[in-house]
Every structure is written in C-alpha cells, then in structure tokens.
Structure 1
Amino acid sequence: MTGGRDRTAVGYPDPLDRDRAEVISTLRSGPHLLCCLDFDGTLAPIVDDPDEATLPPGTEQVLARLHEAPDVTVAIVSGRSVLDLRSRVELPVTLVGNHGLERLDRPSADTRGSDRSGPTDSVAGASRPVVHPLAAAAIPRIEACAATLETVLAPLPNVRVESKRLTGTVHYRTAPAPVAQLCRRLTVDVVERVGDERLSLSHGDEIVEFGPAIEWGKGDAVELLRSEQPSGTRVLVCGDDTTDEDAFRSLRRSDVGVRVGERTRSAAQYRTESPSTVRAFLDRLAGSISSKTVASG
C-alpha cells in the first residue's frame, strides 16, 4: 500500500492516557476523522452472556456527539451481525458486522428494531445490508457446521453455539477449564470435518470463531470505509481482541490504533484498560473536536 505504515511488527503498546493530548492532536490534524470502534470489550463491557451486552448510556451520548460533528464519521466494526448491532445501537452510524463481511449504512431516520435474526428485508427504515458475495455463498456450510456443533457440544456445561449466518461463534467463557479445553478440541474437529477447506477457524477471548476462508477482515473493512472519506482522513481504531489486529495493521502513520484490555503484544500503538477508559478518551476527543468547530465557525 503506497504511503502506508508497516504494522507487521508487534510490540507492547504505549499507555494511551500518558500521550492522550498528542493522540488527540494527531486525530484532529486532518480534514476528516473516521472512528472505527469494536463493540464488545471496547464500547460495551464483556459479560458472561453475550445476549446481555448493552451499550452504556454515557458511551452512547459520547458517540452521538462524535456522530453529530460535521467532520467525523463513526462506524461500529464488530464480530456481531449487523442486525444484532442494530438492536443495541440506536444511533444512525455505519454498522460493520461479522468481522467486515457485512455492512449496514443507516439513514438518520432509522430507529432500533427488536428482531436480531430475521431476513435483512425486515430492517425497517434502513437500507439492506451489503454482504461479501463469497461469504454469502458459504452460508449453507456455516449453518450446517453450527447445527453439528449444537449437537456435539450439547453435553458440555456453560458452552453456547451462536450462528450469525455469515460466521459462527462457540462461547465457553464460564466453562470449567477441562470443559473449555474439550470444547476447543471438538470445535476444531467439527469445523475441519464439516467445513473442510472452505471454512477457517480463529481463537479469541474465551471463544472459537469459524467463517468463510476468504481474504477479507476488519482491516479490509476499515480500508473500504477510508476510501469513502475525504483525502487525508485520519483513522482511529479501537478494539480488544485478536480480530482487531487486522484493523490495526491496516493503519498508516497518521492514524491511531488503541488496544483495549490487559497489556499484550499488539500492532496498535496505544493501550487503554477498559470500555470505561475508552469512553473517557472519546469524551475528551469529542470535546476537543467541538472546541475546534466552534473556533473555526
């Protein structure tokens, strides 16, 4: 990528709070700002039951301030499906789901719906989600894999299989260690047998995910969003899991990547502790942008 930054090397990110003023200055230095934010573990706290995850009201208010700024674009880039995200995020921001395989651009009049699993045409007031064509072709195999895992993993306590049409996730956050180990082994066996070479596996924070074996991820989704913004746009990516590393590696010298959670090696330059510290940083960023807008006006 011409003019890009080599993010193949990883290291321990610097504390975001220490360099907060410099980071905000960097993000404000371009004509436009694109904020690509993960949901679970970044905007919303991690919970034992993924269905119980909610966007804290204070975080939603900060996102609204950023969304309303004239030179800012906000996108939620998550492993959840876009219909699931739509049920949890009221704001008319861009939703990128299933690690970049689908996208929903919502008009400002859109409101939150209650159906997380119905067909895309049922999303009232919103455009139809755009799905990667190769991912769409893999849906029958993913559904077959999820159904097989439901049967195979049923005897294991505190294990849950989630089918998201374009991808699937096996959750074992509250399972005892021996059960978690068996769960991982059985999941790998099933995906390799049912999905063969057409599905791929990835391991995250107390989860195993499977999806189409195609070269497309969060980094590609971020680059596509960038291409739609004005030249010179700065990009902020915040995420807490292994799939966010793909997005961090897509960033350039003038962009900022923030890994959320415990200190770990990452392609991101900075680290912050939790969704609450993400909210605090975004609040400072929104305040700085508001001040810049008022001053220029």
Structure 2
Amino acid sequence: MALEADLRAALEALARTPHLLVALDFDGTLAPLVERAEDARPLPASGAALRALAGLPDTTTALISGRALDSLRAVANPPEVTMMIGSHGAETWTGPDGDPLALTPAQMDLRARAIEVVERIVAAHPGTRIEFKPAGVVLHTRTADDDVARSAVAAARTELAQLDGLSVTDGKRVLETSVVKADKGEGLAVLRGASGATAVLFAGDDVTDEHAQRTLEPGDIGIRIGPGETAAAFTVATPEAFTEVLEELVSLRTSGARG
C-alpha cells in the first residue's frame, strides 16, 4: 500500500530534522492487539525498522506504553539504546543511570487498597483478569463477555472512586489505576528533553495516547493507528499499515534526506 502523498511529504520534512525522536506506543501500534498481553510481540518488519532507526546517527527511539517497564522489555525486546516510558508515564527509563520508581508509604498503602478492590471484582466476574504494576493495578476485560466486562468496569469504577488520590483511566478493554498522576504527554516531554530532539514522530492507537498527541509541536508528526477521535494529523488503519510508515522513514533518514 502506497503512503498518502501528504503523509509522505510530512515524513520527508521530518527526516531532515537535525535530531529526530521516534516515540511509539507498543500494543496496537508496533504489535497487533491480542487477548493475552504476555503474548504480544512486535510485527517483525516494524521491529526491524525500529532497530534500523535506533542505529542511525542523530536519531533517538523510544517506547511509551501503559505497560510496566518490565513487561514492556519482555514483549518488545527493544534495542538497548531505546528509551522507555512505562505505566502511562509513571515509570521512566532514559538510561542505566536513571532512578527506579519509588513509592511513598502513603502511595504503597493506596496501591494495596486498589489491588484489593480489583481482586474482588475479578473474582466476581469470569473472564476478567488483574495485572499488577509498580504504581497501580489494571482490570483487563478483553477475555470476558461484553456484558460481564461492562459490569466489572462499572463496579470497579464505583469502588475505586472512593479511594482519594487514585488516578483511574479507561483504555481498550482495560481500566487502569495508578497512585502516580502521570500521562503519556508528560512522558513524551521527558523524552523530548532527554534526547534533545528537534522534531518528534509519535504514534499510538488508544485514548491514552491522545495525551501525547496533544503535546506535539509544529514540525512534529502524530499518527493514530485505527479508528477513533484523535488530535493526530494522520491516521493509518492497522499496525501493519504503520509498518510501511516506519520503513519509509528509515529509507528517508538513511538516504540523506537531512539537510
């Protein structure tokens, strides 16, 4: 599939920037969505394109995900130099010298109470699952029937609303909770500053990615994967279609499109 002319023209301009940051969501962007989060893997061609970009001069690659960093490393197997934002911005890895996430005693207690709530919800709703994160807990409903999923999310939202200081966010068949208030927009700002980027390509498929889309500046490119309301300037239909975008960027950046 040939890229649309306006997207290709934007990529040509982006490829000429002095220092490029390519910051990407993982699930639904580099990897197709799957029922079991641990089974996700990047599309081979997208993974190869990410590795190629990571090896180019004056080019920084990064992953920005709702996953915890350990989970993201396990499924994405990113290039060693790739920076990472996990847990929707609560966790940051910009190199081996960075400090790991550390919760206060109050945050640890709040996380424990949120876990108790989600554990009760999962026990009462067949097909739902719980995921533990360093800063919170996630209710997964992708493997539950639709009516069960709706009931589980409604019940969880009601109980979690009683916990002061907890951030609750909807995603695709997930309900995310965190004791650290952060989002992907804040994470992208950290990556932009750490890399010294003069322009950014950001791509994502979910409502949580819109926080990052709305922070993009003139000269950046935002891409939405799949349907949905978005602040991104461009949309491609599937992760497979996004592979072509990455491959085109590799070609342009490699061929000396930079001025």
Structure 1 stretches of 4+ with a deviation exceeding 4 A read 126-129, 133-137
Match of 2:62 among 70, 75, 82: 75
- What corresponds to 1:224 in structure 2? 190
- What corresponds to 1:176 in structure 2? 145
Q: Separation in 1 of the partners of 2:37 and 2:5?
A: 32
1:136–1:101: structure 2 CA closer, same or farther, 3 Å change rule? farther
Q: Separation in 2 of the partners of 1:163 and 1:135?
A: 17
Indicate the larger mover: 78-87 or 184-193. 184-193
Percentage of pairs with the same residue: 30
- What corresponds to 1:272 in structure 2? 236
Contact 1:146 1:162 in 2 (8 A): no
Match of 1:103 among 88, 92, 100: 92
Contact 1:42 1:239 in 2 (8 A): yes
TM-score scaled by length of structure 1: 0.80
1:65-120 CA-partner distances (Å, limit 9, x unpaired) = 000000110000000011111112141111110011111234xxxxxxxxxxxxxx
SS at match of 2:212: helix
SS at match of 2:175: strand
CA apart distance, 1:207: 1.1
Q: Separation in 2 of the partners of 1:69 and 1:27?
A: 14
Match of 2:253 among 278, 281, 289: 289
Contact 1:78 1:97 in 2 (8 A): yes
RMSD of the alignment, in Å?
Answer: 2.3
Aligned residues: 256
Is 1:139 the counterpart of 2:108? The answer is yes
SS at match of 2:240: helix
Is 1:208 the counterpart of 2:197? The answer is no
User: For structure 2, which runs of at least 5 residues remain unmatched after alignment?
Assistant: none
User: For structure 1, which runs of at least 5 residues remain unmatched after alignment?
Assistant: 1-14, 107-125
Contact 2:103 2:135 in 1 (8 A): no
Indicate the larger mover: 83-92 or 242-251. 83-92
Q: Separation in 1 of the partners of 2:57 and 2:180?
A: 38
SS at match of 1:61: helix
SS at match of 1:210: strand
CA apart distance, 1:56: 2.5
